[in-house]
Amino acid sequence: MFYSLPNLTGHDTVECPAPWDYRFTVAVPAQVRADKEARQYWYMASETNHQFYSPFEGINKLSRVNKESNPPHGTWAIVGDYDTKIPESTVLEAIAGMKIKPTHYEISLSGYLRLIFLFESMALLGTYEYAVFFQQESKKWLDLDVLPQLDEGAFTSPSRFYCNGGIWKATGAKPIPTAKLQAFQIKCGGKFNFKPASQLRDIPLDNVLTALKEKYGAAFDWPDSFELNSQGPSFWIPDSRSPKSAIVKEGGMFTFAAHAEKPFYTWGDLLGKEFVTDFMDGAVSKATHNIWWDTKTFWRPDTRAAYYPDNDRGMELHLKTNCRLSTKPGDDGSSALEKALTHTRENQRVESAAFFSFQPPGPYEYDGLLYLNRYYRKAIQPCAETGMVWGTKGKLPFISRLLGWEFVPNTADQLSHFLSYSKLYYESAYMMKPCAGQNAGFQGGQGCGKTLISRFIMGALVGGYIDASPLIVEGGSFNATFFEYGHWSLDDDSALIGGKRSIDSVYAELKKYAANTSFTANQKFQKPYKTDWNGRIWLTVNTDARSRHLINSDTDLDKMNFYACRTNEAEIKAFPFPDRKDTLRIIMSELPYYARYLLEYKIPDRWIDRKRWGVVSYQEPGMLDLARQASPTSLVKEILIDYLNYHFSDVDSDSTSATFAVSQLYSRLTNHSPEIMRGIRADAFSRHMDSMDKQVPSLVSTGPGNTKIWTFNQTDFVSLKETKETLKALGVGDFNAPTHDSH
């Protein structure tokens, strides 16, 4: 796998075929091949359309690797770049003698040599510093110095891109096997974390210098910088007079002084056991830094700055092999390794290793207890550019076109609210300042892009998504995995309808996860733990009658946003969606610009909620009307309105209002429409009344015994009464028939 740029001015990379398979579409000018200055200008020209390749893959795959915001996730190869022309016979002879052989070699535009050592699988890196270290170590591993003038600068810069010279030859060697690569990575990882030397050699020279000045005073008169291999006097030997008789070495001093008792003096010899002991204690502290214990399991950081579990044996091996702590007992009877284990258990104990969304990984105090936050998912980094422009002329043409087309009717209102809501959501993930927010529902035709927006735009923007139907719909008991993600997606309406939970139960779950942030996470073979989850759940459904039941208007609407999406089949087919792979590639390339756009977006005043959510809840009016018509409460509402119209239709009645307790109203409606009301229990009827949310004009008050009282005014229900008065004036109809109130 390689990534390429058309020239060296760009930052947006693309996955590209192997450079030896690249076919020039535009010939390289002869002057570029012949003249270095012309070549460098051509590299940097924005109109140049060539292949500049790199085997390094960034955390954001489709952006150029850099130290500040896009460190390398891994590399697929090592490139040995030589700054000289080497005869092919010499190259082949050198390759023949290599234990590990390159798969290809290339002649660059300048006529110089490159060797490509392809890996069978990607070597994981995670940080820019480790990538540099990995490259440096590979020089010896791959015998790269066997040929002259290796470009050393390239081995300190994982962001380097190479111009395809177009002249390639395969050596016949296979890519480096994964097993061999892993063995090399183990060696690199151990050396990178702690130097492979004794504890004395690990003592920093700055510490030594300070201690030597303090102990020896004026006798310590070092002429130059106190650094490895520097020379000076043997200051600790009284009879020594030579100003250059001692050399600084790792772990001590080598002396040529004639009066010296031995040639090599350790720092312990020169500064005493106490100095070494103090350093040993520091070594224990360094070895146990950022390692935690939850009374059952040790937790160690990996290269992504997240944490993974380790048992007692694994921890001992880590401290012994990687940290090089001694297992030999000291004067106090305890080894450095045993001290490290005891220190971790006693001083770095946490309640549990949990996931706290949109918070930095590491120790995290919650509810008065210390936890270890394992949340490692990072929001997409915004581009460095500012002043993002919405539309096809900006840097996010596909995303802006899709979102601008997606929402109908009331496109302007829906898009404005969606961007406001998305802004706060993204900011909470990117800035790691979690805040409460509503969940969201999207209803539209099949293929309109609603799932794409949920999973691959918003989900990717905040660090990834998970299908939450096993938890929300099926009611699974092991929920810890879901808290690893901030964005939960519910996309399959058939699964919602066919799940173990009813639609009402699903909506109760949606309300719960919007209204609360504190939850208990359960995972197999681990003790339950409390966590603080501040993510969002996005629900996408189709527009058929069955699916409309999934947008529930009977729930608390302040906890849900409802957006109406495209439904016209012809319009959906006409939208220029690329194929799936290209669509995802385009979205990934535009997400850093969309992220910057959201950060710069100004929320209109009408959407601002300063009390709870930051942005007021929104339900597209037409969508809400259809949802209400399809809701279970709708039937009760129709019966109630019909009854109240009949109740106030008696022209002989002087009543201007009607007051009922819930039980009275249930009895009246049962008499009014017995066949329909027979299927509605009294407790369900009470919940339906509470869910109407003023859909029927009324006044709710508290009666005797803390009962709920409903009052309806005649002026709100006069349609049938006016009709009856008109018919009576015309002498039509039997107006002595009993009203429904006499049932």
Q: Which domains, ranges and CATH numbers included, belong to the chain? A: 2-193 (no CATH), 205-271 (no CATH), 276-349 (no CATH), 410-625 (3.40.50), 632-742 (1.10.10)
**CA–CA distance, 297 with 480 (Å, rounded to integer):** 17
Least Cα distance to 513 among 495, 487, 540 occurs for: 487
**CA–CA distance, 523 with 529 (Å, rounded to integer):** 9
Extended strands (E) in 524-598: 526-532, 536-541, 560-564
User: Between these two residues, 722 and 569, which has the higher pLDDT value?
Assistant: 569
pTM of structure: 0.58
Q: How far is CA 654 from CA 481, 645, 647, 651, in A?
A: 64, 14, 11, 8
The pLDDT, as a whole number, for residue 592 is 97
The pLDDT, as a whole number, for residue 252 is 84
User: Between these two residues, 425 and 122, which has the higher pLDDT value?
Assistant: 425
Token couple for 356: 């706290």
| 312 within 8 A of 319, measured Cβ to Cβ | no
**CA–CA distance, 349 with 344 (Å, rounded to integer):** 7
Average confidence score pLDDT of the chain: 85
In this predicted structure, the answer to whether residue 686 has a pLDDT above a threshold of 60 is yes
The pLDDT, as a whole number, for residue 297 is 93
| 595 within 8 A of 461, measured Cβ to Cβ | yes
Residue carrying the six token digits 């915001």 = 69
Arithmetic mean of pLDDT, 574-584: 94
**CA–CA distance, 354 with 371 (Å, rounded to integer):** 7
Extended strands (E) in 491-636: 518-523, 526-532, 536-541, 560-564, 608-609, 614-615
Q: Considering only CA atoms, give the Rg of the chain.
A: 37
* Residue 360, SS3 per DSSP: coil
Reported as a single tens digit per residue, the pLDDT across 171-184 is: 999 999 988 886 78
| 561 within 8 A of 417, measured Cβ to Cβ | yes
pLDDT band of 740, cuts 50, 70, 90? very low
pLDDT band of 675, cuts 50, 70, 90? confident
In this predicted structure, the answer to whether residue 426 has a pLDDT above a threshold of 50 is yes
User: Between these two residues, 267 and 192, which has the higher pLDDT value?
Assistant: 267
The pLDDT, as a whole number, for residue 410 is 94
User: Between these two residues, 471 and 556, which has the higher pLDDT value?
Assistant: 471
**CA–CA distance, 211 with 203 (Å, rounded to integer):** 12
The pLDDT, as a whole number, for residue 384 is 96
CA angle 631, 632, 634 (to 5 degrees): 70
Q: Is 295 exposed, middle or buried (0-12, 13-18, 19+ CB in 10 A)?
A: exposed
Residue carrying the six token digits 């007021």 = 616
Arithmetic mean of pLDDT, 131-153: 93
The pLDDT, as a whole number, for residue 260 is 66
How many CA within 13 A on the CB side of residue 571?
A: 13
User: Between these two residues, 570 and 635, which has the higher pLDDT value?
Assistant: 570
**CA–CA distance, 31 with 51 (Å, rounded to integer):** 18
**CA–CA distance, 459 with 446 (Å, rounded to integer):** 20
pLDDT band of 106, cuts 50, 70, 90? very high
**CA–CA distance, 286 with 110 (Å, rounded to integer):** 48
The pLDDT, as a whole number, for residue 192 is 59
List 14's β-bridge partners, or say none: 4
- What is the side-by-side strand order in the sheet with 246-249? 231-232, 246-249, 252-255, 264-266
Reported as a single tens digit per residue, the pLDDT across 331-345 is: 678 888 898 999 899
**DSSP code of residue 70:** B
The pLDDT, as a whole number, for residue 267 is 86
**CA–CA distance, 26 with 162 (Å, rounded to integer):** 17
The pLDDT, as a whole number, for residue 412 is 96
Ranges 274-288, 294-308, 559-573, most confident: 559-573
| 534 within 8 A of 517, measured Cβ to Cβ | yes
In this predicted structure, the answer to whether residue 269 has a pLDDT above a threshold of 70 is yes
Reported as a single tens digit per residue, the pLDDT across 32-62 is: 999 999 999 999 999 999 999 999 999 898 8
The pLDDT, as a whole number, for residue 723 is 47
Arithmetic mean of pLDDT, 659-670: 82
Backbone angles phi, psi at 530, to 5 degrees: -85, 145
**CA–CA distance, 350 with 365 (Å, rounded to integer):** 9
